[in-house]
Amino acid sequence: MSEIEAIESDTLRYRDTEAAHQEARQAVTESVLAALRAGQPPTAVAAASPFSEIYVRKLARENGIPDYPLRRFPKARGELEARLPAWRDAARAIGELVVGLEDADYVGGVLWTGLTDKKAQGNPEEQKRVIVDRLARWATRDGGDGSAVAAAVRSVLDEYLPSR
């Protein structure tokens, strides 16, 4: 076999395995998305897949699958209850804005994340900013007026979270 024939043969094998790799990647991606939709934690999903946690979370965002810290972290729900006993009312009021934030568990998770953010500790305005940013970003991930959503969410938070 000449060098050119060897190249041609190896190129065919390369293309065949490339197609198989792409098919396998698509199958893994579909399995990852199914696991995330079923509520599996992104860390567990990433550990079982060839993907990094960052990529798994990106897939979730791109496919409209929210993160649920209240489910992922056993202490989160209790901490949220202690810091904001009326969190369910706040989540309901945010859901009533009809901006794509009707999922109370998701909103509760964002509330917990903002209230426990290390950089925002002791600073209610910074906590609100963290919460508003995350909720507005999620609500407008497919388009929309982020500043209008942020203003509406902030008005709800002003009722439920003290300024100091």
Is 7 found in the same domain as 84?
no
Domain shared by 88 and 115, yes or no: yes
If you search the block for the tokens 């902030």, which residue do you land on? 154
pTM of the entire predicted model: 0.77
Domain span at 8? 3-62
Q: Are residues 85 and 111 in the same domain?
A: yes
Instruction: Mark which of 62, 83, 101 sits at the end of a domain.
Output: 62
Does an H or E element contain 23, and which?
A: helix 3-37
Same domain flag for 35 and 109? no
Predicted pLDDT at 144: 87
For the segment 17-30, the average pLDDT, to the nearest whole number, is 93
* Structural domain total, the chain: 2
The answer to whether the beta carbons of residues 97 and 156 sit under 8 Å apart is yes
- Considering the domain architecture, whether residues 8 and 55 belong to the same structural domain is answered as yes
My answer on whether 58 and 74 are in the same domain is no
What does the pLDDT look like over 55-101, one tens digit per residue?
A: 999 999 899 899 889 988 889 999 999 999 999 999 999 999 988 89
Shared domain for 74 and 8, answered yes or no, is no
Taking the C-alpha atoms of residue 32 and residue 71, their distance in angstroms, rounded to an integer, is 18
Contact 76, 112 (CB under 8 A): yes
CB contact set of 108 (below 8 Å; sequence gap of 6+) = 70, 77, 80, 87, 88, 91
| 149 plus 88 within the same structural domain | yes
Domain check: are 75 and 146 in the same one?
Answer: yes
123-153: pLDDT as tens digits: 999 999 999 999 999 999 888 899 999 999 9
pLDDT attached to residue 164: 62
